[in-house]
Amino acid sequence: MGLYQRWRRLRLAGLRACALHTGREAAGSTPPRWLVERLGLFEELWAAHVRRLESLAQKEHRTIQITLPGGQKVEAAAWNTTPYQLAKQISSTLADTAVAAQVNGEPYDLERPLETDSDLRFLTFDSTEGKAVFWHSSTRVLGAAAEQLLGAVLCRGPSTECGFYHDFFLGKERTLRGSELPVLERICQELTTAAQPFRRLEASQDQLRQLFKDNPFKLRLIKEKVTGPTATVYGCGMLVDLCRGPHLRHTGQIGGLKLLTNSSSVWRSPGAPETVQRVAGISFPTAEELKTWEEWREEAELRDHRRIGKEQELFFFHELSPGSCFFLPRGTRVYNALVTFIRAEYTRRGFSEVKTPTLFSTKLWEVSGHWEHYQEDMFALHPPGPRRDNPISHPTDTLALKPMNCPAHCLMFAHRPRSWRELPLRLADFGVLHRAEASGSLGGLTRLRCFQQDDAHIFCAPDQLEAEIRGCLDFLRSVYAVLGFSFRLALSTRPSGFLGEPCLWDQAEQVLQRALEEFGEPWDLCPGDGAFYGPKIDVHLRDALGRPHQCGTIQLDFQLPLRFDLQYKGQAGALERPVLIHRAVLGSVERMLGVLAESCGGKWPLWLSPFQVVVIPVGPEQEAYAREAQQGLRAAGLVGDLDTDCTLTLSRRVRRAQLANYNFQFVVGQREQSKKTVNIRTRDNRRLGERDLMEAVRRLLELQSSRVPDAEEIF
């Protein structure tokens, strides 16, 4: 029985009783049976949990040593003293601002009793870890509101780098309307005002199945994710949810909460995928911080790449090709400039660009392992059967559009014998990729079904690995410096389901760590976040508004060389296995273009700009010379437009060009025409004066080739 059928059998009556209502009606309505039963069982388990803690505190009454930040040691009572009590002893400010603790490096609830000697650290909203806890707790509030208001079946609710979201199921025919968000937000605010405590307890697998017997999504998670005898659940008001935690002490610590968007997403399951509703939001400790964020968001909305793309006629989308972008001439100019930049770096750094097919037999993806793990995200094609004029022809394989380039590059490496003299072999590919993204997850250029990457794969000998990683890191730094991005790196190590030998993983992780330490940029350690096939370095860049984006990556892969049996003849004459490095700097070129559009607010640097120069004649008599100037710009490979609209005054035409973000305006009058010069102004209305036309073109070419961010300032 599928998830939907099970949900319909178990919950339809309860959902009918939970039709949409206002927050005031919610307070007075009778909760559905399933919610009351679940809460009743939780309260029974909670009472037993409290009795157990009291018993442990009495039977194991002992003093433990707690090391506070700064090295100070204090005494505490095992199974009794909590991190929150210690925070209050340090200062009332810390107790009020702490959102969670870290005990011996592990996340820990502030109200959870300490059990043994510990190193204690407090997390606040100012830290990355603290924000994750705060937003994770906020998504529990959203889940509680969705249950009470909509009778929703909760799926998952993680924090993100910029807030949180919750997925929930309303039935096949029911979607969440945008007009319902304010009501849902009002319920969330009522729950935060109530300052409901988060209560943590451990439940056995049987107890978990009983608690979530009416939620097939949670039952699926319990079956797939709960491998030990117990798992943690949290109660908050009427909400009971499966969660590792930690969480805030109570919902009242959330001073400001706002729901932002609603969309559809897909819950992947062994049966048919289910469409679920996704609501995203943001929250802060105070209402003032939320207000500040909303002001920042208004600025970000003015910079939305979809808005800029429309106003500047860079690109558009059409319902007849969902998830794909139509790049107009100006947008293509920016796109090509980015690709040209990376190609120049490839040449300088010893990469060889290749082209590989778009369509492959699924046998390739079976060899690579992608068909097993990634099939639902691929577009598969079933070729027609035997032709009528040749009924005995053999059926063809199922084909699939490639979602990544690495298997094709493995075929390229393996197509002939290889020698150690050819290594490292660096193959770069701008091939078009296709991924079957859910319609609800599509959003402008940030997530597409059809896109290109600055994708490259390095096949190297093990003793070349460290040098290649250093080269990849230098590649990242050089490109991001030109694009004006700061960035932070994260080393993701061996996950629980890794493939390969542990000693090989240890060596690779040590190589990556040494390269990061020598690189000199700040980096974080993310234990267990590596891919199943190898450790990786994730790159989190920040744009001009301080927003994080993950675009670049460096990944080691031990599995594809094994799966494709890649070998080369070593110096001693024996066959050896290469190491494979996946790397990208821009990531998706389309996504990077969107990030850049928002970062610069449509004021493109000269080398990327689709609005480099506009030539403006003072009057009709100068139009012929203006066209000559325009042709000179275009002949040099620059973007040169012409404004001959003499119905407007010269000052209004100059102002129009500046508002359109033309980097430079070349004004030509009678004097300039007679001397073959141009009078130059910038988009910020700096008057650079009269310059020889050909000299000005040469200077623009110099600035374009050097890819400076401030050509207008240094012209």
306, 536, 681, 683: which one is catalytic? 536
In this structure, which amino acid lies at residue 665? Q
Tokens of 20: 């949409």
Dist CA 618 CA 651 (whole Å): 10
Residue 645 among the catalytic residues:
no
- Active site residue: 250, 370, 418, 435, which one? 435
Strand extents, DSSP E, 415-546: 425-429, 432-434, 450-460, 486-492, 523-526, 536-542
Task: Tell me which amino acid residue 240 is.
Answer: V
Q: Are 616 and 667 in contact (CB under 8 A)?
A: yes
Does the annotation mark 536 as catalytic?
Answer: yes
Burial of 520 (0-12, 13-18, 19+ CB in 10 A): exposed
Widest distance between CA atoms in the chain? 101
Phi, psi of 30, rounded to the nearest 5 degrees: -85, 125
Catalytic residue among 426, 582, 591, 681: 582
> In whole angstroms, what is the distance from residue 406 CA to residue 566 CA?
13
Determine the straight-line distance between the first and last CA of the chain, rounded to whole angstroms: 70
DSSP classification of residue 6:
H
Contact 252, 194 (CB under 8 A): yes
**Catalytic-residue membership of 449:** no
Set 148, 196, 312, 453: catalytic member: 453
**Separation between Cα atoms, residue 154 and residue 270, nearest integer Å:** 18
Instruction: Please pick, among 455, 538, 543, 643, the residue that the annotation labels catalytic.
Output: 455
**Nearest CA among 416, 445, 248 for reference residue 327:** 445
Residue 415 among the catalytic residues: no
Q: Which residues contact 149 (CB under 8 A, 6 or more apart)?
A: 18, 20, 21, 23, 26, 183, 184, 187
Is residue 280 within 8 A of residue 259, CB to CB? The reply is yes
Sheet of 664-668, strand order: 640-642, 613-617, 664-668, 677-682, 687-692
Choice among 18, 188, 325, 406 that is catalytic: 406
Is 435 designated active site? yes
Report which of 244, 281, 278, 286 is spatially closest to residue 162, judged by C-alpha positions. Answer: 281
Give the active site residue among 330, 457, 494, 683. Answer: 457
C-alpha triplet 295, 657, 337: angle, nearest 5°: 80
Answer whether 169's CB lies under 8 Å from 267's CB.
yes
For the chain, what percentages of helix, strand and coil (3-state, to nearest 5) are there?
Answer: 40, 25, 30
Residues in the chain, overall count? 715
According to DSSP, the residues that pair with 270 across neighbouring strands are: none
- Specify the residue for token string 């433990």: 64
**C-alpha span between 632 and 615 (Å, rounded):** 11
455 is catalytic: yes
- Catalytic positions, written as ranges: 406, 435, 453, 455, 457, 536, 582
